[in-house]
Structure 1
Amino acid sequence: MAPPAFSDIAKPSLDLLNKDFYHTSAATLEVKSKAPNGVAFTVKGKSDHKTGAINGQIEAKYTDKPTGLTLTQAWTTLNALDTKVELDNTIANGLKAEVLTQFLPASKNTGAKLNLHFRQPNFHGRALFDLLKGPTFNGDLTVGHEGFLVGAEVGYDVTSAKITRYSAGFGYSVSEYTAAITASNNFSIFSASYYHKVNAQVEASAKATWDAKSTSTVGLEVGSKYKLDQLAFVKVGYSSPTNLSRKLN
């Protein structure tokens, strides 16, 4: 099994701390259905606290499993037409290629991106190209062995021939718990996170963050989830004022 992408090294902890809490969004909605011909439809909506505006989209997705081709088209409330074409394990074993385009009818603006994901049992690498803005390149990789993870990320502006961002991290992940330490935003934000699946009903997580450029204090987030049954659960969490402010802005 391939290790997670660099951005997902601390995913179990972040999911427990960030999902399903009222402070992240006032209301969310997601409805899924599937037509007889195999096309899957998804309607998503989210309302924020500040303006009350609803941001959403309607999405249609078709997958041809024999060829590994997936076509996804979406129309958002921002009047954007998004199209994504995916080829998974078609060009080479473990390689997934994505072409993403966006068209804004009101302004006639367009966007195009090419994403490459390469997964092997102990390696997960990504190369993300923004073809029309810059162009720019963002790449990351994660190497894993017996639960230990080491990863790094870099951003590069082709036009100016300049590195725009870099990050690094390492962690340890097994089925019961995950621990990770990351240094992001050009090694200016340092985070340590921990996730523990105590048993089939109880999960717990904690995260400490220090922004070396803006504060001398460490932000702390803790959360826990108790599963009542297959359809219901209870979550409780605490976020220090620094972290809460960052989430709401």
Structure 2
Amino acid sequence: MSLPQPVPPSWKDLGKSSNDLLGKDYYFQTTSLEVKTKTPSHVTFKAAGLQDNKSGAVNADLEAKYADFKNGLVFTQGWTTANVLKTQLELDNYLAKGLKLDVNTSLNPEKGNKGALLNFIYKQSGVHTRGALDVFRGPTFTADTVFGRDGFLFGAEAAYNVTEGRVSRYATAIGYNAPEYAVTVHALNNLKTFSASYYHRVSPDVEAGAKAVYDTKATTPGVALEVGAKAYLDSAAFIKAKINNSGVLALGYTQALRPGVKASFGIALDTQRLNEIAPSGPTHKVGAHVVFES
């Protein structure tokens, strides 16, 4: 008798280990601040703001979240400096075990722009299925499914435009997840863009990964390649580094200053143009991110 299979990752999380290693904790394009507080009644408040280092534009948002974990209910209300009101309602295991319903709405009262996205997520042993209906764009229905068995993963995604009566987007992926490493291959954008990612936990303190992307419709021929690594200096600090085939080197450093306070710093250097002024110029970039949480 075979053992029950674990729930596989969702479609958007295929290759997540590699994507997080190469994409997260590199704050070299913005300077940002995030403050989180939580009340005893399970209400969480978050205020976040960032400044684009190139344009100087400042964007911020204020968010309040209420969670009733006993009944699987999460309600979130947000307001941005662009005067957009965002509301999210999540119901987990409310109607059926393994089923999660998620309703996202947005409204800009000044411009009259509105959006509504209805999501459902169903998770069981060996399968992870999601569906989403974008009410005002199309409307468009998107569905994806990932099957998993003994570490092997197979996933597919398709989007259907209800008004036009056609499949507007489709993609597929295969992968393998092990405790120490993961490999994923995607065929995206109607099978016109192909990517392969690899993640390896070399030791408890060192991680490495790589990603290659080939776009058949790109104006620049060839494969875009990026490799990176992460090393924990101690339990409160780690450094990250990555470089791509264009010669852009990115470095990141994250330090937990004290419980609830974390600071991250990043820099991106074009190694082919190191003699062009300072990191604050257009060639090189620096940034920082600070989080306060209580």
CA distance in 2, matches of 1:242, 1:157: 40
1:243 Cα deviation from its structure 2 partner = 9.0
Query: What secondary structure is seen at the aligned counterpart in 1 of 2:17?
Result: helix
For residue 113 of structure 1, the aligned residue among 104, 117, 142 is 117
Where relative contact order (Cα < 8 A, 6+ residues apart) is larger, the structure is 2
The letter of the residue matching 2:186 is T
Bigger Cα displacement from structure 2, 155-164 vs 103-112:
103-112
Bigger Cα displacement from structure 2, 225-234 vs 43-52:
43-52
CA distance in 1, matches of 2:166, 2:113: 26
Aligned to 1:148: 152
Deviation string for 1:11-50 (max 9, x for gaps)? 1001000111244x32233221102322011122233343
Correspondence list, 1:60-209, <5 A = 60-209=64-213
Aligned to 1:235: 240
Aligned to 1:50: 54
Contact 1:208 1:219 in 2 (8 A): yes
Aligned to 2:214: 210
Aligned to 2:230: 225
1:242 Cα deviation from its structure 2 partner = 9.3
CA distance in 2, matches of 1:16, 1:29: 21
Query: What secondary structure is seen at the aligned counterpart in 2 of 1:17?
Result: helix
1:239 Cα deviation from its structure 2 partner = 1.6
The unaligned stretches of length 5 or more in structure 2 are 1-5, 250-269, 271-284, 286-294
The unaligned stretches of length 5 or more in structure 1 are none
* TM-score normalised by length of structure 2: 0.79
Greater gyration radius: 2
Q: What is the root-mean-square deviation in Å for CA atoms of aligned residues?
A: 1.8
Deviation string for 1:165-202 (max 9, x for gaps)? 11100000122111000010111111011000111110
Answer 1 or 2: which has greater helix percent: 1
The letter of the residue matching 1:73 is Q
* TM-score normalised by length of structure 1: 0.93
The letter of the residue matching 2:169 is R
CA distance in 2, matches of 1:118, 1:242: 42
1:53 Cα deviation from its structure 2 partner = 1.4
Poorly superposed stretches of 4+, deviation over 6 Å? 242-245
The letter of the residue matching 1:222 is V
Correspondence list, 1:19-34, <5 A = 19-23=24-28, 25-34=29-38
- Percentage identity across aligned positions? 46
When residues 30 and 116 of structure 1 are mapped into structure 2, their CA distance, relative to the original with a 3 A threshold, is same
Contact 1:221 1:243 in 2 (8 A): no
The letter of the residue matching 1:202 is V
Contact 1:220 1:243 in 2 (8 A): no
